[in-house]
Chains A and B, each alone.
Chain A
Amino acid sequence: MENSKKNRPGWSSYLKWIWQNANYVLIFAVIFLVYLLINGQATNWAGITNIMRHSSVIGIVALAMGLIILIGDIDLSVGSSIALVGGFSVLIFNATGSVAITLAAGILGGAFTGLINGMLIGKVRMPAFIATLATMMMYRSISQYYLASSGVAMYKVDASSPGYDAFFKLGNGNIMTIPILTLVFLAMALMLIYINGSTKFGKTIYALGSNEKAARLAGINTEWLRVAVFVIAGALVGLAAVLFAAQNGTITPSSAGKNYELYAIAAVVIGGVSMLGGKGKIVGVIFGMLTFTIIDKIILSLGYNPLINDTIKGAILLMAILFQMFQKGGKPSR
Chain B
Amino acid sequence: MLLEMINIDKSFFNVKVLNDVSLHVEKGEVHALLGENGAGKSTLMNILGGVHEKDRGTITLDHEKIEKINPKIAPQLGIAFVHQELNLFNDLRVFENIFLREEITNKFGQLDKQKMIGEVEKLFHNMGVDIDPTVMVSELDTSKKQLLEIAKALRKDAKLFILDEPTTALGNLEIENLFSIIRRLKEQGKSFIFISHKMPEIFQIADKYTVLRNGDFVGAGSISEVTPESLTRMMVGDCYDNRDIYVCRELKEPILELQNFSGKGFQDVNLTVNKGEVLSLTGLQGSGCSELMQCIFGCTKPTSGTLKINGKVVSGGIRTLMKNKVGMIASNRKENAILKDLCLLENCYVSEHTLSWKKQKINKQRELEKYNVLSKKLNIKANSCKDLIVSLSGGNQQKVMIARWLNTDAEIFLLDNPTQGIDVGAKSEIYKLIVQLSEQGKTIIMNTQEISEIQKISDRCAIFYHSRLQIVLDRKDINEETVMLYATNAHGIREGQNGKQ
- Chain A residues within 8 Å of B, Cβ to Cβ: 1, 198-201, 203-204, 206-207, 209-211, 213-221, 274, 278-279, 332, 334
12 A-B pairs besides A203-B349, A217-B337, A218-B354 with CB distance below 8 A are: A1-B383, A198-B361, A203-B353, A206-B341, A206-B346, A213-B336, A216-B299, A218-B337, A219-B350, A219-B408, A278-B341, A279-B341
A-B contacts, 12 listed (Cβ < 8 Å): A200-B360, A203-B349, A204-B353, A210-B341, A211-B339, A213-B336, A214-B336, A218-B337, A218-B354, A218-B404, A219-B351, A221-B319
Q: B350, A220: Cβ atoms under 8 Å?
A: yes
Q: B362, A200: Cβ atoms under 8 Å?
A: yes
Q: A334, B390: Cβ atoms under 8 Å?
A: yes
Q: B318, A206: Cβ atoms under 8 Å?
A: no
Docked pose: A278 CA to B388 CA in angstroms: 12
Docked pose: A234 CA to B337 CA in angstroms: 30
Docked pose: A217 CA to B359 CA in angstroms: 21
CB 8 Å contact bits of B335-377 with A (1 = contact, 0 = none)? 1111111100010011101111101111010000000000000
Q: A214, B338: Cβ atoms under 8 Å?
A: yes
Within the complex, what minimum Cβ distance (angstroms) separates B299 from chain A?
7
In this complex, how many residues of chain B approach chain A with their Cβ under 8 Å: the count is 34
- Chain B residues within 8 Å of A, Cβ to Cβ: 13, 297, 299, 318-319, 322, 328, 330, 335-342, 346, 349-351, 353-357, 359-362, 364, 383, 390, 404, 408
Within the complex, what minimum Cβ distance (angstroms) separates A60 from chain B?
22
Q: B13, A332: Cβ atoms under 8 Å?
A: yes
Among B322, B361, B390, which residue has its beta carbon within 8 angstroms of that of A219? B322
Q: A206, B342: Cβ atoms under 8 Å?
A: yes
Given the contacts A210-B340, A214-B336, A278-B340, A220 and B360 also touching, CB distance less than 8 Å: no
Among B335, B355, B356, which residue has its beta carbon within 8 angstroms of that of A213? B335
Q: B362, A204: Cβ atoms under 8 Å?
A: no
Q: A199, B342: Cβ atoms under 8 Å?
A: no
Among A203, A206, A219, A221, which residue has its beta carbon within 8 angstroms of that of B362? A203
Within the complex, what minimum Cβ distance (angstroms) separates B11 from chain A?
13
Residues of B within 8 A of A332 (CB): 13
Top-6 shortest CB links A-B: A278-B341, A219-B354, A210-B341, A200-B353, A210-B339, A199-B360
Give the residue name and chain of the A residue nearest to B337 (CB): A214
Given the contacts A1-B383, A199-B360, A199-B362, A219 and B355 also touching, CB distance less than 8 Å: yes
Given the contacts A1-B383, A206-B341, A200 and B356 also touching, CB distance less than 8 Å: yes
Docked pose: A18 CA to B137 CA in angstroms: 49
Within the complex, what minimum Cβ distance (angstroms) separates A4 from chain B?
12
